[in-house]
Amino acid sequence: GAGVSQSPRYKVAKRGQDVALRCDPISGHVSLFWYQQALGQGPEFLTYFQNEAQLDKSGLPSDRFFAERPEGSVSTLKIQRTQQEDSAVYLCASSLSDEAFFGQGTRLTVV
């Protein structure tokens, strides 16, 4: 595709519910990143894939957060037993070299 595509754009989850957020990167981009952006803040790194390998997951806030990219293309960020503090915009970015390009994001609201 022409850009990074994320779905859904908006997600409302009840506290305790599991959610799955999808990212379809730019075709050919080997690197994929997930970021979390709280209101009024810059994006915060969550995790990084190079092809199917998860090379860095140091930013995942708890073991409720899990990400995968099994075939080195589409990635899914899963959040189990959602909490109110998980409410944020989740951004996916892909990169071929130094420059990273972001998708539209998924706005998650936990009620």
By CB under 8 A, name the binding residues for another protein.
30-31, 33, 35, 40-45, 48, 50, 56, 59, 91, 93, 95, 97-105
Give the whole-angstrom CA distance, residue 59 versus residue 40. Answer: 19
Shorter beta-carbon distance to another protein: residue 3 or 16: 3
Q: At closest approach, how far in Å is the CB of 81 from another protein?
A: 26
Shorter beta-carbon distance to another protein: residue 19 or 93: 93
Give the whole-angstrom CA distance, residue 54 versus residue 69. Answer: 8
Q: At closest approach, how far in Å is the CB of 39 from another protein?
A: 11
Shorter beta-carbon distance to another protein: residue 14 or 40: 40
Dihedral-angle region of residue 7 (phi above 0 means left; psi in -120 to 50 means alpha; beta otherwise): beta
Q: At closest approach, how far in Å is the CB of 48 from another protein?
A: 6
Residues 6+ apart with CB under 8 A from 41: none
Which amino acid appears at position 54 of this protein? Q
